[in-house]
Amino acid sequence: MSDKIENSKNVTSETKGDSAIRVMGSRDINKLRTSAKIGKGAGMVLTYIFLIFIAVVVLFPFYWMIISSLKTLDEYKLSVPTLFPETIVFGNYAEAFTQANLGRLFLNTVYVGLVSTILSLVITVLSAFAFARLEFKGKNALFAVLLATMMIPGELFTITNYQTVFYLNWMNTFTVLIVPFLVSVFYIYLLKQNFMQIPNELYLAAKVDGTSDLKYLWRVMIPLSLPTLISITILKMMGAWNSYVWPNLVTDSDEYRLITNGLRNAFVESTGDVNIPVQMAAVAIVSAPLFLVFLFLRKYIMKGVSRSGIKG
């Protein structure tokens, strides 16, 4: 009888001990969960603070461009700059458009951009197809040499390109703005990687059916690689829109000036001073198309680049 009582006491004490351990364990787990939530929340807060700070640093120059374009010249020259215009002057935009002859600059830039983009796409598609599907002696060595040229800074080609176009008498023509930059090794590499993702069995089956290479390229490979082609088109147009050094070297006639170099001396007053608010208005007008292109077509750029970076 006494043994049963002692056993029952032991069981009771063990049960109490287990329950106490469970209570302590649940408290520790709750503390760990609470500390984890606090740490996660603090990390999120710090992350958002950092992102907001970076966003302010990146966006502030654009904000300054906009508010400067809406100020008068006297307000812009104040020793203590204002963060918002005291008097909003929308007339700076109309003055910028007429004073810099932006209409002509826009037409020249769009013409050079469209022609160079179309010709560059033709060269890029044919070259990428040749390296991706055709077999010829020295293909890998030639492609390796092309990739090696990407290691050379583009500024090193400026002198030789300038001498070449000077001897060809291309100065102050649209040809000198288009031809020297039709071939891009990066675009060829980007599209070749995309072409390599298309199963080679499709090409072999098409050849068995008697399909020519150009027909297979037009009917199969181009439709399947459309996101990358859209990305290349956008990047090429943006490159033509933003080019400054080369157009400034090879053109000194207003008839062939592009937007970037056309705005260089367009706002110098008779006193030698630059009308900064009007110049900022012109820069805002010129920048607007690029913002719109990135805003509405950024998904095509990301999709094309991401697809070209994966081989499978």
Q: pLDDT by residue for the chain (312 residues), tens digit each? A: 555 444 554 545 555 555 555 555 566 667 777 777 787 888 888 999 999 999 999 999 889 999 998 988 888 888 888 888 888 888 888 888 888 888 888 899 999 999 999 999 999 999 999 998 888 888 889 999 988 888 888 778 888 889 999 999 999 899 999 998 898 899 999 899 888 888 888 888 888 888 888 888 888 888 888 888 888 888 888 888 888 888 888 888 888 888 888 787 677 665 567 788 888 888 888 888 888 877 777 777 676 566 554 444
pLDDT for position 116: 93
- Alpha carbon distance 293, 66 (integer Å): 19
Residue pair 178/116 in contact (Cβ under 8 Å)? The answer is yes
The radius of gyration of the chain from alpha carbons, rounded to an integer in Å, stands at: 32
Distance CA 267, CA 282 (A): 10
Say how far residue 17 (Cα) sits from the centre of its chain.
65
Amino acid at 23: V
Single pTM value for the model: 0.75
The reported pLDDT for the residue numbered 57 is 92
Place of tokens 């991706």: 132
Long-range contacts of 92-96 (CB under 8 A, 24+ apart): 92/277, 92/278, 92/280, 92/281, 93/69, 93/281, 93/284, 93/285, 95/278, 95/281, 96/69, 96/267, 96/278, 96/279, 96/281, 96/282, 96/285
Please name the residues in contact with 207: beta carbons below 8 A apart, sequence gap of 6 or more.
Answer: 216
The residues facing 274 across adjacent strands are 268
